[in-house]
Chains A and B, each alone.
Chain A
Amino acid sequence: MYAFEIERPTTIADAVKAMEHDGAQALGGGQTLIPTLKARLAAPDVLVSLTGIGEMKGVCLSDDGMLCIGAATTHATVAREAAAHFPGLAHLASHIGDPAVRNRGTIGGSLANNDPAACYPAAALGTGAVIITNTRQIAADDYFQGMFTTALHGGEVITEVRFPIPQKSHYMKFVQPASRFALVGVFVAKYADGVRVAVTGASEDGVFRWSEAEAALSADFSAKALDGLSVDADGMIGDLHGTPDYRAHLVKVMTGRAVSAA
């Protein structure tokens, strides 16, 4: 690591102010950023820790039935507190990283980083969640803009994420054996007006919606509805752990399993 200072604001307003420093970077739970800092792949002058901001923590239901999660809420908290309202999301949260990582890592940090193999982006896109920042609300369909790229501006801080609660949902992850990130992860959510399917881990463009599957599953929410479909391997990630063909194949397998388990 290089040398840097850490600021610990206790309000969103103070955090936003701290982010105005040159070389400032937001620090969520740090479970990705800190290893990055250790490798000297990032050189912030100031880290603005968001973990001390009470108003950015917690899980609740809004009046219009959305599940609202403060951006600094840990995966472990989501796993516990979302279970009664949105078991599909709680299940996803309970399988991110390992228990110690889940006690520190936050939903806001995950979405801001937008790792192409992270789990939360699949839930956000797969539900059409709303990403709320200190300045605006961003629809998930507009938020994810490719690997490690989002609609966030410099200095903008995610404060909350709001999920429309589906009738049925499930997240099925096939793990990359070493990192245990998603080699392919599929979030399937069934709403009254249709089904959404979001895929993480697979594409060079980051998380994406599988629209053919959405159409087929909206007509018939069963794994066999996917029978005639296939995923194009073009644009899929190829690495030590999976070729584009393999990932494309797994997208279909995991989608079917997610539907069956929903």
Chain B
Amino acid sequence: MASVAMVVNGKSVTREVEGRTLLVDFLRNDLRLTGTHVGCDTSQCGACVVHVNGEAVKACTVFAVELDGAEVATIEGQANKDGSLNVIQQAFQDHHGLQCGFCTPGMVMSAAALLKENPKPTEAEVRSYLEGNICRCTGYHNIVKAIMAASGQDVAAIAAE
């Protein structure tokens, strides 16, 4: 067991963890932040994407002890201070960018990372950036549309409803 201290969604936390404890297990089991999901064993589905020190990371493919001192942001910390949905979350709701919701936290976190480095992505850039996020419900149309809308682009021309 080793002690690990992080700032998660703005709050300092310290826990004793095993070496084998993945960040996603640390979040889900130790901190009870169950919004970050596990959808595969091969680091491909992206349901577990969180931000570590501001960068998108697959929480299923990093050990908690490696992140001692890190700042971690998860889906639970994304809403505005007043509890309302942030711009990306709101765009996902407005454009029906989710169905079962299981991949959604990872999608939102990846979208946030994309828009931070590329504030006005093209359709192709959005699709390319989502290579590591698999959705089985939406056929991606409305996810791509939501992310482009969240970036402030006019998506009215994209086939609506």
In contact, B41 and A47 (Cβ under 8 angstroms): no
Interface residues of A, CB < 8 Å — how many? 28
In contact, B56 and A99 (Cβ under 8 angstroms): yes
Contacting residues, chain A, for B22 (C-beta < 8 A)? 34
In contact, B20 and A103 (Cβ under 8 angstroms): no
A51 CB-CB contact with B under 8 Å: yes
Q: Count A/B pairs, Cβ under 8 Å.
A: 81
Contacting residues, chain A, for B94 (C-beta < 8 A)? none
A104 CB-CB contact with B under 8 Å: yes
B147 CB-CB contact with A under 8 Å: no
Query: How far, in angstroms, from A99 to B114 measured CA to CA in the complex?
Result: 9
Shortest beta-carbon distance from B62 to chain A in Å: 6
B149 CB-CB contact with A under 8 Å: no
A8 CB-CB contact with B under 8 Å: yes
Question: A6-B63, A30-B62 are known contacts. Are A97 and B132 too (CB-CB below 8 A)?
Answer: yes
A17 CB-CB contact with B under 8 Å: no
B9 CB-CB contact with A under 8 Å: no
A84 CB-CB contact with B under 8 Å: no
In contact, B131 and A180 (Cβ under 8 angstroms): yes
In contact, A5 and B19 (Cβ under 8 angstroms): yes
In contact, B55 and A31 (Cβ under 8 angstroms): no
Contact pattern, B 15-28, Cβ under 8 Å of A = 1, otherwise 0: 00011101000000
Shortest beta-carbon distance from A94 to chain B in Å: 10
Query: How far, in angstroms, from A38 to B110 measured CA to CA in the complex?
Result: 24
Contacting residues, chain A, for B19 (C-beta < 8 A)? 3-6, 47
Contacting residues, chain B, for A38 (C-beta < 8 A)? 41
B57 CB-CB contact with A under 8 Å: yes
Contact pattern, A 94-112, Cβ under 8 Å of B = 1, otherwise 0: 0001111101100000000
B46's partner among A8, A52, A98 (CB-CB below 8 A) is A98
Query: How far, in angstroms, from A173 to B19 measured CA to CA in the complex?
Result: 36
B65 CB-CB contact with A under 8 Å: yes
In contact, A98 and B132 (Cβ under 8 angstroms): yes
In contact, A99 and B63 (Cβ under 8 angstroms): no
Contacting residues, chain A, for B65 (C-beta < 8 A)? 6, 8, 49
B42 CB-CB contact with A under 8 Å: yes
Contacting residues, chain B, for A192 (C-beta < 8 A)? none
Query: How far, in angstroms, from A227 to B68 measured CA to CA in the complex?
Result: 55
In contact, A49 and B41 (Cβ under 8 angstroms): no
Query: How far, in angstroms, from A52 to B114 measured CA to CA in the complex?
Result: 25
A39 CB-CB contact with B under 8 Å: yes
Query: How far, in angstroms, from A179 to B134 measured CA to CA in the complex?
Result: 12
Contacting residues, chain A, for B57 (C-beta < 8 A)? 100, 103-104
Query: How far, in angstroms, from A39 to B41 measured CA to CA in the complex?
Result: 8
Shortest beta-carbon distance from B72 to chain A in Å: 13
B residues at A contact (CB < 8 Å): 2, 18-20, 22, 41-44, 46, 49, 52, 55-58, 60-63, 65-66, 68, 110, 113-114, 129, 131-133
Pairs across A and B, CB under 8 Å, 30 listed: A3-B18, A3-B19, A4-B19, A6-B63, A6-B65, A8-B68, A31-B43, A34-B43, A34-B60, A34-B63, A35-B61, A37-B20, A39-B41, A47-B19, A47-B63, A49-B65, A51-B66, A52-B66, A76-B55, A98-B46, A98-B133, A99-B129, A99-B132, A100-B46, A100-B57, A100-B113, A103-B52, A103-B55, A104-B58, A104-B61
Instruction: Give 14 A-B pairs besides A99-B131, A101-B43 with Cβ atoms closer than 8 angstroms.
Output: A5-B2, A5-B19, A6-B65, A34-B22, A34-B62, A51-B66, A76-B55, A98-B46, A99-B113, A100-B49, A100-B57, A100-B58, A103-B52, A179-B44
